[in-house]
Amino acid sequence: MSGFATLAPPYSMPSASHGDVGVADSSAQARSRALNQFLSGIELKAFKIAQAGLRNEDDALDAVQDAMLQLARAYADRPAEEWKPLFYRILENRIRDMQRRRTVRGRVIAWLPFRGDEDDEEMDPIAQAPSEEPSPSHKLEIDEAMVALDTAIGTLPRRQQQVFMLRTLEGLDVAQTAVAMGCSEGSVKTHYFRALQALRAQLGSFRT
């Protein structure tokens, strides 16, 4: 009981917890604005990170969308400084779930004798499978270095891939990356070191 009582700071302004719709409204508007700003700042990076894990644009979009909604529903009340590692934690869980589901679906469909006779609108496991090759639109749009790096990142084990993207693209520090990945800071350092070693071995000193 006493723990519950300490949740509300004694100097706080009247909060929305007493059913005051007006105050709740303005508070929610402020949160909405802050969340909008936060999400607009990370959405492209989040998409890129999800795409690196899922190797499929639509799946990556779904993962980012789910992570955004989950953050809004469950953690919008948290301090804004906590949003980034929380968001990436949610996103990584979502990516992992989608990867597992895809693996299971692939196994099940591979065992089905009537596969290929189904409606063409059904999920195509081959189309959904990880691809080493970038899509044609990418080939037109991205330069050689990006293709090389993208391909090399795709060959990394998931945890190394994850730590590399979070640190290099999103710029999270070791502590934030550890929160996002749900592991210790020591593990983050180890995975990152191994990721760099593997990428350097594959790419050498690639030029931009």
Site residues, other proteins (CB under 8 A): 16-21, 24-25, 27-29, 31-32, 35-36, 39-40, 43-45, 47-48, 57, 61, 64-65, 68-69, 71-73, 76, 137, 141-143, 145-146, 149-150, 164-165, 168-169, 196, 199-200, 203, 205-208
Residue 36 Cβ, how far from other proteins at the closest point, in Å? 5
Q: CA nearest 60: which of 16, 91, 90, 103?
A: 91
Residue 58 Cβ, how far from other proteins at the closest point, in Å? 9
Q: CA nearest 154: which of 185, 193, 195?
A: 195
Contacts of 6 (CB under 8 A, 6+ apart): none
Residue 169 Cβ, how far from other proteins at the closest point, in Å? 4
Alpha helical stretches, state H, 21-124: 21-54, 57-75, 83-111
Q: Identify whether the C-beta of residue 76 lies closer than 8 Å to the C-beta of residue 35.
A: yes
d(CA 50, CA 162): 9
Residue 2 Cβ, how far from other proteins at the closest point, in Å? 20
Q: Identify whether the C-beta of residue 100 lies closer than 8 Å to the C-beta of residue 54.
A: no
Q: Which is nearer to other proteins, 14 or 113 (CB)?
A: 14
Q: Which is nearer to other proteins, 150 or 185 (CB)?
A: 150
Q: Which is nearer to other proteins, 21 or 110 (CB)?
A: 21
Q: Identify whether the C-beta of residue 103 lies closer than 8 Å to the C-beta of residue 129.
A: no
